[in-house]
């Protein structure tokens, strides 16, 4: 099995229903080709580093998948390129299977270890 992390960005003006529709469309495409989905999470609306299609913000969605065939990556790229709702995407190959729980940001300061001196 080959595990991949796909981060794709949708138009910031989309409603929750439109975002859910695109997410289900992407999930259906992967499942229809007999590949697995480990996680599919909506990360929220975030500011972009540079304008993409004249937008300063985008709706970020993270998809963790397992592809049985590595050649499917190219077919998936074509699908994302042809999907007009997807503004940008990035696909990264993972060494191990991702966890099913959504990734949470770790705080740099641990509250229990902070000590103040007088």
- Tens digits of residue pLDDT in 10-55: 999 999 999 999 999 999 999 998 888 999 999 999 999 999 999 9
Q: Is residue 113 part of a domain?
A: no
- Tens digits of residue pLDDT in 79-115: 999 999 999 999 999 988 887 765 554 433 344 444 4
| d(C-alpha 35, C-alpha 32), whole Å | 8
| d(C-alpha 48, C-alpha 55), whole Å | 8
pLDDT value for 118: 39
The answer to whether 5 and 94 have CB atoms below 8 angstroms apart is yes
User: Which pTM was predicted?
Assistant: 0.78
What is the percentage of the chain residues whose pLDDT exceeds 90? 65
Which of 67, 113, 61, 66 lies closest to 87 in space, CA to CA? Answer: 61
Q: Is residue 109 part of a domain?
A: no
Token digits of residue 28? 């259906």
The β-bridge partners of 65 are 4, 37
Q: Is residue 7 part of a domain?
A: yes
Count: domains in the chain: 1
- Tens digits of residue pLDDT in 53-80: 999 999 999 999 998 888 899 999 999 9
The domain that holds 70 is classified in CATH as 3.30.70.60
Q: Is residue 34 part of a domain?
A: yes
Which of 54, 40, 33 lies closest to 8 in space, CA to CA? Answer: 40
Domain extent at residue 19: 2-96
The DSSP line for 37-94 is EEEEEEEEEEEEEEEETTEEEEEEEEEEEEESSTTHHHHHHHHHHH-TTEEEEEEEEE
């Amino acid at each position: 099995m080959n595990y991949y992390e796909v981060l794709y960005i949708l138009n910031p003006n989309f409603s929750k229903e439109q975002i859910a529709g695109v997410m289900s469309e992407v999930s259906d495409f992967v499942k229809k080709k007999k590949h697995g989905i480990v996680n599919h999470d909506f990360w929220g609306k975030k500011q972009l580093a540079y304008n993409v299609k004249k937008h300063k913000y985008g709706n970020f969605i993270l998809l963790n998948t397992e592809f049985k065939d590595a050649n499917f990556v190219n077919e998936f790229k074509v699908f994302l390129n042809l999907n007009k709702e997807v503004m940008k995407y990035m696909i990264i190959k993972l060494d191990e299977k991702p966890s099913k729980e959504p990734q949470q940001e770790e705080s740099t300061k641990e509250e229990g270890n902070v000590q103040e001196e007088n």
